[in-house]
Structure 1
């Protein structure tokens, strides 16, 4: 029987080629995914394991406020056993090129980093030139230098505290380390630590990294630091810090891996439909052949083993090809991964190809092929010897149709219930993870119900679509529709792969479109200010001339000054350290409704507003009266919570009324201005007024709401492109499924087409019949997939709202493009089978195998 299986594969290799290609692509996706992620994981672990003996300990702040007072660095240095102690020092800073233009993109500000004298704690790595040492020298990241044509010796400018600019000479080019790599392509400049503290006007630093003196163990050093600093700070050994960073980085990588695995499994699932369709049709085509085998003594078990052996051979050959393709894809993908690796240089890194990955990929391809072919193999094993006398096999059993109907009803009801519950709790503002789980599970069950109910609804849908086909092609169109309707089970399995692929693609489009619309709506409500002006350089104030020029401008409708917080303005609420900012009470008249709950209408002395997620974590709600104590001075006050803020709110996450804020931090200047244009003032006129006010003050950055929303939407578009690229392979396999099924279906009906030719059907009419059938099938799959994707996308967009202003949006251009693509793919899928059938001699077509 094994020899028979091999002979069947060899003889019918052209009919099995498309199934093998689908399996190979799925295996390639699985193999490439694990090779790339294993390589990333190895590089990440190696990167984090380079300094176990260098970093002895770290001191950090506990609570929502993360930075520590700069003077704490001196206290740490004074602890016995400390050799070197440096705090993370970097902040936003406009970086101007020799031509006076920003080196970063519109709306982006650069980053100024303080470079410690001890290079072991440096946040950058020198790659060319020398470290900055003189007062007027800086180092620049090599990506920015390359992008703007700058080199060692070129000049850049940074704002000075007086509102002008200071020139600096580039002494070297650097590569940012993991701490700064999160800023992506933002311009990064570095200068000596103490000079950076002056330029940034820094009164606080981030985590303090500590190196121990020889002979002092990290554990001993941690004990001494805890005793010297008290309980207000967290102190960890270097190994604990590294383990924490590794866990955070690996958890982010694991999320990335999980996403890739999900898309790989989708490809495997769709490839399974291709294999199932192929073997289902082959069983029908070899019906009499199988019956003759039974007549000459083959048992049911032998027939079953032969069919499974045939599928196993296809799976093995396809998996071997998929491994080769997967290794090539992984190699090609490394250039893309370098940009996603969060500061880990993967250039020149050898692929981490593990035996387990190869075995898993082969088992995936083989297992998927065997599972998909199992049901057709069981049907082949149930063929009776007497069936050799029949011309065609019986129609599908009614019991199978009833089981499909029951599955569709149960899965549909359960799916709608779960999805409805997920949407309902989303409206209550509960945990978004729970909402997403319920809604996602419900959407998956609804998809199962739609696939199971395919034989019920596809025939009438085909009839509806066929009316147009009949008008265009006449009798060929009517025959095409009848061919689809007379075998609804085969039509349902043929369109299943297309339905899955188009559902997922449409869902991704709806989600990303809804995210973009939600962000725009969120900015419109929660950040109803046309411009945000920020003074760069730590505690640098907005120049009074800028504020007075804007207040006197007829194009400006109102200003809300904000005093940004710092370590000397931190407050303690319910035992947790929070960092507020002082907001002028004018926000009550300019944006009273820019909240998710409550109102800013009564915002003033004695009021406080918190970001919604922060408030929910601390179990605080509107109307609560909080006992607030200033951490630095001990000043106590009672503040009433008047509003909960959205994550996009410019006054969050903790907003105190300016008079209360000044009581605890009188030295904090106005460093942010929120600006609204006057009624009826067009954007160009407002922009001109803002530019005129900040002219000559490069230290003041003006960011428009339009630009801020555009930056968010650019990230959403990047996400959409990535997801659609990952789903692209699944859609390609789905289109292969249609082409493969059409080819096998035409081969199965060779005698039928020969008879039609003998009765007078022309070659052109036969070609049009088969092309119309393929187009109608593709339109069914694409249409059902798009509708289902829109419905599931609506439910998931409600559960996955990244801002409180959830909006639903559908890209009409996207839907139209895929509808047109479905027609084109249907035509392409039917061209070759139609040509073969139309050109085959009538006598050859009528010959029985």
Structure 2
């Protein structure tokens, strides 16, 4: 049996190649993601381990404020002297390092990275742990000199002697580049700008008495953990955040892990699609191969092979297919990881491709995925093969199952589909986002399974409609193509299911993204009253000099600044909720249209007052006049009086909850270092927006981090953010289509082999080569369009339910992109034509007499 199995596998290796390709793609994405993440993690572990101080003292980090507010949490620089006196401390340094400064060249272009990595502006210290070393020029002295890292200098064309401008929170500083420092470790992609330690605190933090951290080196024989304990006892560990080198490396690795997770999950998403679609392809391949080997299997049974041996023979073929596919997929995954590493290098993250990490878990996972998917997909065909009776050796029969009633499928599909429909209905009726999302996930999975199970039941009614015009348009050839698609509903359903999965995904996400865009457009039209918004591209804060530049511009009337800050509020019901609050200047109602349930903007912006979303207030027992305990970054506490209730969250999109906003005067008391995140600008009377815009753009040329946008630009920005998600979905769709095309090609190719005698007879009675090719193309088209109709129909239902979840977050508009849906249906027909090219060509080249004599 083993020898027969090996011969059978080698005899059909060409027909199994397309199925192997599906395994290769899925394994490649899984292995590539693991190798890439392991390589990056190992590289950065080395970086963190080699550069982290033995103990680092930082401000308490309960409310992190840098990203949204732009403020920097600090500690007293004099704390360094107290730490230095602790027994076991060999050296202590007061560090100054910020990420909220912008550095521009004389052409007003940012010298920072364009990849999202930060620009780190810091004090210049040279220790054995420094990630860079001075390679040309000299160290900075005084307020007018800086060092720049070599990668940034080379990327931006900056040389020693060039003049730069540092826009920091305290003010603007013009500096001259006096030296270049080269990385001695992996460059994580950041831009590094170094100032003289004597002036760094004053220029970056506003005071030489402030520092961002204290770095401590342990004396010989003192462990990091012991030194941390001693320092905590000396300065009070509750007031500061103390971390050993290992803890800091672990914390940094956790942050890196969140970045890597994005890449990993994207690649695993591709792998999942490849696996899911590949299962249908492998099932179809083995089912048809077994059907064509009915006589061979029957002869084996007649010669004494039992059912277990036949089943084991088919599963062995699946094992060989999975083994070959997994091996090639692992190699392809290594190449994919290499390409990702090289891609990061082009963005400034200089990883060494020669140090790629392939841990033991990677090949184990790769072979588990490849072998697992082929075993799962081949199990049912193997069972059917084992059911072949010895009498089949004497008859021209197919494997049992192709003509069996679909009663079991109908009942199973109906039960699962009913449960899925109930879950989706519950999602549409839910009133909480969490419950709606959970029901949506369950409904999507159940309805997808139900459609796959019941797909063959839909073949005859749907394809009769889709191919109804074929007889009139193409005559007997059209009628035969339609009947061929109807001949085996199970096979047609499985082939179409591969395409259906991808199109259901793209249909649902297209509806969701179109609804999000329409909802944001409606919100912008209804809520935004300003002529222009000055804002950073990634919504991060900017220095206050920007507001000064805007205010000095001729023709500017009202300027209202928005600042964001993380806060923690203690609610009457005892909950402590961390959220983001917004602060505004006077004139808010002239630039943002807010609907008030009680109170109004003047009351909310008064010192010591706060506005709250009405739903949030109702849920937590707040009303106008309630005192809301609020904690700001740095441990500052106060009680703010609720003076207005609104029906919307004015800072929605920044992780807010409760719609809290108050005046700039209140924020200045408790978070004085917060920076502007947006400026709402109205033109002065007598000045039109068209005249004001070019003036604003000229005034803001020295500040490349911000852009001037009107309502149309703001909508375009939102659309571009949503499009990123949609592009990912389209990429997944592309992969699904590639594998689905392989599935259709495989099915048609095997079907041509199965119908060799039939094709020979048709040719003998007058069917031309061109007519034969047309018949196979039409069969392919109707199968592809059938898959598209099922997928898009399912996707539309999912998309509508997704929109109901979004509606609970305020995105109430429902939009269906009919243009995209029509384009996808037309594209599916094209996919069908392309998939049929090779099988049709092969069929048309058959020798007529040989085909008639085919067994």
Shorter-chain TM range is 0.7 to 0.9
2:467 aligned counterpart, secondary structure: helix
- The residue aligned with 2:319 is 312
Confirm or deny: 8 A CA contact 2:630 2:637 kept in the other structure: no
Q: 1:363 to 1:192 in 2, by over 3 A?
A: same
Structure 1 CA distance for aligned equivalents of residues 38 and 119 of structure 2:
32
**Contact kept? 1:583, 1:651, Cα under 8 Å:** no
**1:256-275 counterparts in 2 under 5 A?**
256-275=263-282
Query: Secondary structure at the residue paired with 1:49?
Result: helix
The alpha carbon displacement at 1:832 in A equals 2.2
Partner of 1:132: 140
CA-CA distance at 1:438 after TM superposition:
3.2
Task: Provide the C-alpha distance between the structure 2 equivalents of 1:699 and 1:650, rounded to a whole number of angstroms.
Answer: 26
Partner-residue secondary structure (3-state), 1:626: strand
- Shift in alpha-carbon separation, 1:518–1:273, aligned structure 2, 3 A: same
Question: Deviations along 1:426-467, whole A, 9 cap, x unmatched?
Answer: x54x44xx6444322321211111111211222222122213
Secondary structure at the aligned position of 1:781 is classed as: helix
Distance, in Å, in 2 between the alignment partners of 1:548 and 1:94 is 21
Match of 2:780 in 1: 774
1:78 counterpart SS class: helix
Q: 1:588 to 1:649 in 2, by over 3 A?
A: farther
Report if aligned partners of 2:629, 2:638 keep a CA contact under 8 Å in 1.
Answer: no
Mapped to 2, the partners of 1:352 and 1:299 lie a distance apart of 47
Whether 1:751 and 2:763 are equivalent positions in the alignment is no
Contact 1:276–1:376 (Cα < 8 Å) also in 2: yes
Counterpart position of 1:607: 609
Provide the C-alpha distance between the structure 2 equivalents of 1:801 and 1:6, rounded to a whole number of angstroms: 58
CA separation of 1:113/1:645 partners in 2, compared to 1, >3 Å: closer, same or farther?
Answer: same
**Residue 625 (structure 1) aligns with:** 627
- CA-to-partner distance for each residue in 1:267-319, whole Å, 9 max, x for gaps? 12222211110111122222233223333333222322222223323333333
Q: Which moved more, 1:228-237 or 1:458-467?
A: 228-237
1:638 lines up with 2:646 in the alignment: no
The 8 Å contact of residues 291 and 399 in structure 2, kept in 1 or not, is answered as no
Report deviation, 1:214.
2.9
| 1:400-440 Cα shifts (integer Å, max 9, x gaps) | 61221122222222223333434544x54x44xx6444322
Contact map agreement 1:160 1:699 (CA 8 A) in 2: no
**Aligned pairs for 1:153-232 within 5 A:** 153-158=161-166, 166=174, 168-169=176-177, 171-172=179-180, 189-200=193-204, 202=206, 207-212=212-217, 214=219, 218=224, 219-225=226-232, 228-229=235-236, 231-232=238-239
| Aligned with residue 105 of structure 2, among 97, 100, 112 | 97
Q: 1:154 to 1:51 in 2, by over 3 A?
A: closer
CA distance 1:334–1:515, shift in 2 (3 Å): farther
Query: Is 1:408 equivalent to 2:413 in the alignment?
Result: yes
Which shows bigger deviation, 123-132 or 191-200? 123-132
Tell me which residue corresponds to 1:295.
302
Distance 1:611 1:724, change over 3 A: farther
Segment of structure 1 superposing worse, 363-372 or 268-277: 363-372
Q: Deviations over 1:92-138 (max 9, x none)?
A: 44543333455579999995612243557878776765543343222
Q: Contact 1:323/1:358 (CA < 8 Å) preserved in 2?
A: yes
Structure 1 residues 104 and 674, CA gap change in structure 2 (3 angstroms): farther
Given that residues 86 and 116 in structure 1 are in contact (C-alpha distance below 8 angstroms), is that contact kept between their aligned partners in structure 2?
no
- The alpha-carbon distance between structure 1 residues 105 and 740, as it changes in their structure 2 partners (threshold 3 A), is same
CA contact (8 A) 1:165 1:698 kept: no
The number of residues matched between the two structures is 830
User: Cα distance, 1:263 vs. partner?
Assistant: 2.9
Residues 600, 642 of structure 1: 8 Å contact kept = no
Residue 362 of structure 1 corresponds to: 367
Residues 27 and 241 from structure 1, CA distance in 2 versus in 1: closer, same or farther, beyond 3 angstroms? closer
Name the residue aligned to 2:551: 547
Match of 2:382 among 361, 377, 380: 377
Provide the residue aligned with 2:332 in structure 1. Answer: 325
After superposition, the Cα gap between the structure-2 partners of 1:650 and 1:96, relative to the gap in structure 1 and judged at 3 Å, is farther
Write the distance in 1 (CA, Å) between the matches of 2:263 and 2:182: 28
Cα distance change of structure 1 residues 234 and 285 upon mapping to structure 2, 3 Å threshold: same
TM norm structure 2: 0.83
In the TM superposition, 1:413-452 aligns within 5 A as 413-425=418-430, 428=432, 430-431=433-434, 435-452=436-453
Query: Which structure 2 residue ranges, 5 or more long, are not aligned?
Result: none
> Judging changes above 3 Å, is the alpha-carbon distance between structure 1 residues 100 and 364 closer, same or farther for their aligned structure 2 residues?
closer
Question: Residues 435, 742 of structure 1: CA spacing in aligned structure 2 closer, same or farther, 3 A cutoff?
Answer: same
Task: Tell me, yes or no, if structure 1 residue 481 matches structure 2 residue 487.
Answer: no
The 5 Å alignment of 1:719-738 reads 719-722=725-728, 724-725=730-731, 728-738=734-744
Task: Provide the C-alpha distance between the structure 2 equivalents of 1:811 and 1:73, rounded to a whole number of angstroms.
Answer: 58
Contact 2:583-2:667 within 8 A present in 1 as well: yes
From 81, 86, 89, the equivalent of 2:94 is: 86
Change (3 A) 1:336 1:717: farther
How far apart in 1 are the matches of 2:213 and 2:544?
Answer: 24
**Structure 1 residues 99-108 or 779-788, which shifts more?**
99-108
State how far apart, in whole Å, the 1-side matches of 2:533 and 2:65 are. 23
Structure 1 range deviating more: 269-278 or 782-791: 782-791
- The SS at the match of 2:468 is helix
Q: 1:777 to 1:5 in 2, by over 3 A?
A: same
Determine the C-alpha separation between the residues in 2 that align with 1:805 and 1:240: 41
Deviation string for 1:239-269 (max 9, x for gaps)?
A: 3333333334335535643443343133122
Instruction: Give the Cα–Cα distance (whole angstroms) in 1 for the partners of residues 142 and 35 of structure 2.
Output: 46
Of 353-362 and 738-747, deviating more is: 353-362
Question: Are the equivalent residues in 2 in contact too, given 1:58–1:238 (CA < 8 A)?
Answer: no
Deviations 1:350-370 (A, max 9, x none): 222234422332333223222
* Structure 2 partner of 1:27: 27
Q: Is the 8 A contact 1:128 1:173 kept in 2?
A: yes
Residue pair 2:19, 2:278 contacting (<8 A) in 1 also = yes
Check 1:833–1:645 CA distance in 2 against 1; reply closer, same or farther (3 A cut).
same
- Alpha-carbon RMSD: 4.6
Q: Deviations over 1:480-520 (max 9, x none)?
A: 11111232111101111111133234445555555555555
Contact in 2 for aligned 1:126/1:173 (Cα 8 Å): yes
Partner Cα separation in structure 1 for residue 579 and residue 158 of structure 2: 41
- Using the alignment, how far apart are the partners of 1:719 and 1:151 within structure 2? 39
Distance 2:599 2:5 in 1: 72
Residue aligned with 1:138, SS = strand
Q: Which residue of 2 aligns with 1:39?
A: 39
Change (3 A) 1:571 1:411: closer
1:87–1:206: 8 Å Cα contact kept in structure 2?
Answer: yes
1:133 is paired with a residue whose SS is coil
| Structure 1 residues 604 and 324, CA gap change in structure 2 (3 angstroms) | closer
The whole-number CA distance in structure 2 between the counterparts of 1:492 and 1:537 is 54
Return the offset for 1:376: 1.5
1:759-810: per-residue Cα shift (whole Å, max 9, x none)?
3322222221111101111122233223333432443455468974365555
Give the conservation status (yes or no) of the 8 Å contact 2:756–2:854: no
Q: 1:848 to 1:296 in 2, by over 3 A?
A: farther
1:239-278 equivalences under 5 Å are 239-254=246-261, 256-278=263-285
TM-score (norm 1): 0.83
Give the 3-state SS of the residue equivalent to 2:104 in structure 1. Answer: coil
Structure 1 stretches of 5 or more lacking a match? none
* Counterpart Cα distance in 2 of 1:689 and 1:511: 38
Question: Using the alignment, how far apart are the partners of 1:13 and 1:777 within structure 2?
Answer: 25
More displaced, 514-523 or 17-26?
Answer: 514-523
Q: Is the 8 A contact 1:163 1:698 kept in 2?
A: no
CA offsets 1:509-562 (integer angstroms, 9 cap, x no match)? 555555555555555566654434589999856777853656xx3x75x43245
Q: What CA distance in whole angstroms lies between the structure 1 residues aligned with 2:462 and 2:295?
A: 33
